[in-house]
Structures are given as C-alpha cells and as structure tokens.
C-alpha cells in the first residue's frame, strides 16, 4: 500500500473473458508511456467474466491517458471500465441517528489520514450528535423524518449532499430506510453497516434476534445499499464470539467494536478503488 503519486491512475474493468486481455491491457499501458504499479485480476470461470484492477503511473498526461484507456477498454476489449486518479479524494457525507461510535471512528480515521477521502458533513434524523459533529468541525444537518415527509426530506438530503460534492454516502448507523428514489437521485455509492452477520438477522433489532436464537458468534456486515433492504452486495464482514453469559447489552457493546472495524474497512477499500460490483456481489482487490 504505497503512497500515491499524483500522476497515478487506477482502472477497474470487467467484461467477458477472452484470450490475451492481461497482455493487451498491460501492453497498452506500456506502449502509451505508463508503468504498471499493481495489477490484480480475477476470472469468474463459471460466468466467464474477467475482472481487473490495474494501477499505473502515467507521468505525461494522466487525464488524456485516462480517456484514451477508457476508449480502448470499451471499444477494443468490450469491457466495462472506470478510471480514477489514484490521488482523488472524494467528498464523504455520513448519515447517522443517535449512536455515535461509527461517527467518532470514521472522523478520527479521517483526521489521522487513514481515508483517501474527505468527510464533509453529517446528516441525521435526530439532533443528538450535533455537538459531536461540531467537535470535528463538520457541518451537521438535522432532518426530522416522518412517514409523511420522507420523500421531501430525502430530496433535501440529496441537495445537501450535492452542495458538499459528496462522492460517497456512508450510513454510519443511520436507522432509516432509504427509498429507491433517494438511491437513484444521489447517484453515488452508499455504504451501510448492518449490525449482524448477513444474511442472518436482516431487518430491525438484529442483536435481539441473535440473542433469541442463541448464536455463539455475532457479526457485522458492510454492504452497498440497494433498494432491497439489507440485500445489497456485501463488502466486508467480521465476527466475534459470544456465550450464554452475554445478554443483549453485551451483544450491543461487542457489536459496536465490530461495526467500527467493518465499516471503516469497507469505506477504506471503496476509497482506494478496490471494489468491483458484479451481479450483487463484490470483487475486492486487496
């Protein structure tokens, strides 16, 4: 995980596999004056789909190279492709409710320089965390949400995120369901932390469900948000052992540590352009 020079590019490609793809991608980069820093590929042999993440240094004209690469990969190779400058630091908006642990964790990681992005603001359906946001000098916007005003509030939330030029929305324990319309209008990835080991215990109060079922391991799952609740592509998961000695508050407390780690991992991978989504699953180039 090296420091990024300002002329590095990252491309994420996927499409039908064919002979010579690796050679053609690296050959193009070499012939056009670039130098491959990392390249990682994956072949889904069942679906015959080729996935690649390639990071290269392109000192002369990274912007031009980016455009040319997209054209080549699309027209010549028939791939779906996205190219980003490795040095890009997209804006992030965090959406929260009352729990503050993921907000603190991400804000502190942001300040420590662990994230290749910039947290620009906090959205909440409760006023409780205004002071926390302000302790990190982050703009805080309180949007009370009711069934009657949901659609209207979502439009205002989208507008607020646009003002801040957000390229990523992180639901850091935001306890409202976002509508399909919101997801379409926001037009950028939305990452959620679900406080269970999905697909176990989807929906509300997962720690209570876990306690009722008597599981011996609890988990947390970070995933991209799709219109189907808790059904989006899974990015990262982690687990922790529990026993009969742990009551629901214990599970909640243990879960907080899991949620922080798993959400931070997913956000970091996303910002490092390590994740390709394909058929509701993720390919994570680590």
Active site residues: 230
207 binds a second copy (CB under 8 A): no
Among 234, 263, 267, 271, binds a second copy (CB under 8 A): 234
37 binds a second copy (CB under 8 A): yes
Lookup result for tokens 């020079």:
5
Query: Shortest gap between Cβ of 2 and a second copy (angstroms)?
Result: 5
Binding mask 6-25 for a second copy (x = CB under 8 A): -------------xxxxxx-
Among 7, 8, 35, 141, binds a second copy (CB under 8 A): 35
134 binds a second copy (CB under 8 A): no
138 binds a second copy (CB under 8 A): no
Cis preceding-peptide flag for 199 (omega within 30 of 0): yes
Burial 172-192 (b: 16+ CB within 10 A, else e): bbbebebeeebbeebebbbbb
Query: Measured between alpha carbons, how far is 57 from 62 in angstroms, rounded to an integer?
Result: 8
Structure tokens at 263: 């959400």
Query: Shortest gap between Cβ of 117 and a second copy (angstroms)?
Result: 16
User: Which CB sits closer to a second copy, 85 or 233?
Assistant: 233
Query: Measured between alpha carbons, how far is 46 from 9 in angstroms, rounded to an integer?
Result: 30
- How many CA atoms does the CB half-sphere of 150 hold within 13 Å? 10
Three-point CA angle 31, 277, 256, nearest 5°? 125
204 binds a second copy (CB under 8 A): no
216 binds a second copy (CB under 8 A): yes
112 binds a second copy (CB under 8 A): yes
Q: How many helices (H) and strands (E) does the chain have?
A: 8, 13
Q: How far is CA 40 from CA 91, 140, 152, 266, in A?
A: 26, 39, 43, 19
Count the site residues for a second copy by CB under 8 A.
67
Among 71, 215, 225, 263, binds a second copy (CB under 8 A): 215
159 binds a second copy (CB under 8 A): no
281 binds a second copy (CB under 8 A): yes
Collect all residues with Cβ–Cβ distance below 8 Å to 159 and sequence separation of at least 6: none
283 binds a second copy (CB under 8 A): yes
Sign of the Cα torsion 177, 146, 118, 109 reads negative
188 binds a second copy (CB under 8 A): no
Sign of the Cα torsion 107, 111, 113, 118 reads positive
217 binds a second copy (CB under 8 A): yes
Alpha helices in the chain (DSSP H): 21-31, 62-71, 101-111, 130-135, 150-163, 180-186, 206-213, 248-271
Among 1, 137, 147, 204, binds a second copy (CB under 8 A): 1
261 binds a second copy (CB under 8 A): yes
137 binds a second copy (CB under 8 A): no
Query: Shortest gap between Cβ of 12 and a second copy (angstroms)?
Result: 13
- Using CB under 8 A, list all residues that contact a second copy: 1-2, 19-24, 26-27, 29-31, 35-46, 51, 100-101, 104, 108, 112, 114, 135, 197-201, 213-217, 219, 233-239, 243-247, 249-250, 253, 257, 261, 280-284, 286
């Amino acid at each position: 995980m090296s420091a990024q020079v300002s002329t590095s590019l990252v491309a994420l490609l996927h499409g039908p596999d064919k002979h010579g793809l690796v050679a053609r991608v690296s050959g193009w980069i070499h012939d056009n004056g670039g130098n491959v820093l990392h390249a990682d590929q994956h072949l889904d042999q069942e679906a015959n789909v080729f996935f690649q993440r390639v990071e290269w240094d392109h000192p002369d004209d990274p912007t031009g190279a980016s455009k040319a690469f997209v054209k080549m990969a699309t027209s010549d190779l028939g791939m779906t492709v996205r190219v980003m400058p490795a040095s890009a630091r997209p804006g992030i908006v965090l959406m929260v409710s009352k729990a503050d642990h993921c907000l603190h964790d991400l804000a502190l990681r942001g300040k420590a320089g662990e994230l290749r992005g910039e947290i620009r603001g906090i959205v909440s359906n409760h006023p409780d965390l205004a002071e926390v946001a302000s302790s990190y000098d982050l703009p805080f916007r309180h949007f009370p949400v009711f069934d009657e005003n949901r659609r209207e509030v979502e439009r205002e939330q989208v507008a607020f995120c646009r003002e801040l030029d957000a390229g990523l929305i992180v639901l850091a324990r935001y306890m409202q369901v976002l509508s399909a319309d919101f997801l379409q209008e926001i037009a950028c990835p939305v990452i959620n932390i679900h406080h269970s080991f999905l697909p176990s215990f989807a929906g509300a109060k997962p720690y209570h469900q876990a306690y009722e079922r008597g599981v011996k391991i609890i988990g947390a799952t970070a995933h991209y948000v799709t219109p189907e609740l808790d059904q989006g592509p899974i990015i990262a998961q982690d687990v922790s052992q529990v026993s009969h000695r742990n009551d629901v508050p214990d599970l909640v407390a243990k879960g907080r540590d899991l949620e922080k780690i798993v959400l931070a991992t997913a956000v970091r991978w996303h910002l490092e352009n390590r994740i390709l989504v394909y058929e509701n699953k993720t390919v994570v180039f680590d």
